[in-house]
Structure 1
């Protein structure tokens, strides 16, 4: 081949390479410049460490990688969160599955669909402090407890009381906002509050010098799930791609939070000025056993419909909900992560 021919061939190859690279760059730029889809999200209950995984997913860029711009707002418990999602004020939120079952049993939450599991067993509990005369469930009789009206802890209390041998009529409940509950307990206004078991470090950080007393609902109701991620049936059916991307990004944030609790605590504090990093990290550490309980496998977010069916039967046997409810009426098998 002559020198001229070799030069022409080299130039042709170079031009082809540049054009090809230019097209790839253009495609990548176009993809990266695609407008992010807006998603509204409510935390389960305020902004405690147990909800830091959403902030982690946002801070680490997991939502953005999924093409989503997520607006995170503090939730107020299962009942209020369900109402807001049904009303269109939010697109996704974690709620306690038992609270959802109770709502469905009372003909509520009809447009709600479960799309992922957050905690594979319930974290609902009553938390008191040493010196309040509460060491066992029966000790709650004659005491004043505080919680928000829509909280699953409060909604489920009659069933818990029945199974734990408590006379629920001898327990007084008063209303309290999520952010104020621990202060009510630490200040001695009430003898106990509705909380998740992972709230123990946060309670002790506020009630300085006093040890928390935790009465987990799971002691008498072992089959119950904890929080599950829900959306509307309309979104699940008409925007499944968006739902799948959101679920995957949120589960990535959940895994990162329980695997890196100290970082999760710092991220929460950076984004929520009222949050304290150390108690938040401690909550993430405790929550790990509920997100990945022994024998649950490595995939986070799964839902076992047979367990859901057993939960329904437990509530029916306790006369908490009527017959006729089945998992396939509100759990999306197409969207929930697979084991």
Structure 2
């Protein structure tokens, strides 16, 4: 049996022996236990792709609520400085596992870096065009004749021409104002520009707690679907220690389920783990909006039908084609998607109808920001 990417679920004899404890636990309806990995907790290093925020909140829950510990792992969580750097660090073996924006991982793989996505963290990158809530810009066509603040180094920037094509407006009629990503939101607040090209998961939590409501016209609303963040590791690690990878993904997915079904407690855990966020006047709202938007992206068919972490092979293939065409640059070659993505460890945790209802209810308040 394969995982949808042409990768067999069959284990080598060596890895099968490593996983016997896990199989026995599963047969008894138990959580994966430490002896399935090794005597005592296995120390594992993990890097996020950015500062503490909604998309990586699950990692602090997995660590501090004990989901990774219950899986036999002692996981250290390091803060990242961007998806590109995180993907490169994981592929180099600096960290055992990491997370990075899925399009960025595809770009790195197209440059021949050894990296594999082993589970989806969220399912919409929330790329789009943001405007102030009271803006007269109500549809993409309204951008014509307006100023759009954009940063060439931002991940969504290469896809603006495709967005214009799909959304039915003339990008040549939009005045693109190049701005530094560090001040992009400020240019919108100060009305130096009429709109910004950005990621809603970064812009909305930064501005809304300050009383500046914004709304996004998402690329995904016109059929440009990019997954958000992926869990990653090196292909060699999967081959060497499949049971370790399974334990890591299981702990992460348990934590993501917890953030979906225990929203307030997840926020409390995150704030306790990140005191600099907690002491900020806007820290709690920043955290709630970030997690709310992240959770919203997980209420998708992949999660409902296949389980947390599952990546749709057809969507992945489409993403790869778009990344290669618009963002990968010269010399990049289409990566082997069977080596780049695997569902072997994903889809093991499915939300019940009651859990889905809870997740839908708590996420509903954040839909206003993304259409």
TM-score (norm 2): 0.69
What residue is the counterpart of 1:332 in the other structure? 342
* Residue in structure 2 matched with residue 204 of structure 1 by the alignment: 208
Contact 2:44 2:74 in 1 (8 A): yes
Matched, 1:80 2:80: no
Q: Give 1:234 deviation, angstroms.
A: 1.9
- Whether the 8 Å contact between 1:159 and 1:315 is mirrored in structure 2 is no
Counterpart CA distance in 1 for 2:116 and 2:51 is: 22
Alpha-carbon distance in structure 1 between the residues aligned to 2:107 and 2:173? 17
CA contact (8 A) 2:86 2:100 kept: yes
Cα distance change of structure 1 residues 156 and 290 upon mapping to structure 2, 3 Å threshold? same
Deviation for aligned residue 1:205: 0.4
Residues in 1 aligned to 2:177 and 2:165: alpha-carbon distance in whole angstroms: 16
User: Aligned-pair distance for 1:237?
Assistant: 1.8
CA distance in 2, matches of 1:309, 1:261: 33
| 1:291-339 Cα deviation digits (max 9, x unpaired) | 1314732621111212212333445676867774442131134333358
Corresponding residue for 2:285? 278
Match of residue 45 from structure 2:
40
2:97 equivalent in structure 1: 92
How far apart are the structure 1 equivalents of 2:75 and 2:128?
30
Query: Whole-Å Cα distance in 2 between the matches of residues 33 and 115 of structure 1?
Result: 21
Q: Residue 312 of structure 2 aligns with which residue? A: 304
Distance apart, 1:124 and its partner CA:
2.4
CA 1:32–1:299 in structure 2 vs 1: closer, same or farther (change >3 Å)?
Answer: closer
Q: Secondary structure at the match of 2:96?
A: coil
Cα distance in 2 for partners of 1:30, 1:112 equals 28
- Secondary structure (helix, strand or coil) at the match of 1:194 reads strand
Change (3 A) 1:56 1:324: closer
Query: Are the aligned partners of 1:159 and 1:320 in contact in 2 as well (CA < 8 Å)?
Result: no
Provide the residue aligned with 1:57 in structure 2: 62
1:192 deviates by: 2.6
Task: Tell me the SS of whatever aligns to 1:46.
Answer: coil
Q: Equivalent residues in 2 for 1:91-130 (5 A)?
A: 91-105=96-110, 107-108=111-112, 110-130=113-133
Residue pair 1:262, 1:278 contacting (<8 A) in 2 also: no
Pick which of 186-195 and 65-74 moved more.
186-195
CA distance in 1 between partners of 2:34 and 2:342 (Å): 35
Q: Match of 2:147, SS?
A: coil
TM-superposed deviation, 1:222: 4.5
Distance in 1 (CA, whole Å) between partners of 2:235 and 2:178 is 33
Distance 1:234 1:162 in 2: 40
Structure with the greater alpha carbon radius of gyration: 1
Query: 1:332–1:168: structure 2 CA closer, same or farther, 3 Å change rule?
Result: farther
Q: 1:216 aligns with which of 200, 218, 223?
A: 218
- 2:185–2:203 CA contact under 8 A, matched in 1: no
Q: Alignment RMSD, CA only?
A: 3.6
Deviation at 1:248, TM superposition (A): 0.4
Q: Is 241-250 or 166-175 further displaced after alignment?
A: 166-175
Q: What is the CA distance between 1:156 and its match in structure 2? A: 4.1
In 2: Cα distance, 1:114 partner to 1:32 partner: 21
| Higher mean C-alpha displacement, 305-314 vs 167-176 | 167-176
Conserved? CA contact 1:114–1:331, under 8 Å: yes
Q: Which residues of structure 1 form unaligned runs of 5+?
A: 1-27
The alpha carbon displacement at 1:238 in A equals: 1.5
TM-score, L = length of structure 1: 0.74
Partner of 1:225: 227
- State the Cα deviation string for residues 217-262 of structure 1 (Å, max 9, x = none): 2122344322221111122221222111110001111110111111
Name the SS of the counterpart of 1:246 in structure 2. Answer: helix
Partner of 2:369: none
- DSSP-derived class of the 1:254 partner: helix
Report Cα offsets for 1:250-296 as digits up to 9, x if no partner. 11111101111111111111111232233323332333332131473
**More off after superposition, 133-142 vs 287-296:** 133-142
Of residues 306-315 and 213-222 in structure 1, the stretch that sits farther from structure 2 once superposed is 306-315
Give unmatched runs, 5+ long, in structure 2.
1-32, 278-282, 351-371
> Are 1:185 and 1:192, in contact at CA under 8 Å, matched by a contact in 2?
yes
CA 337–312 in structure 1, closer or farther in 2 if over 3 Å, else same: same
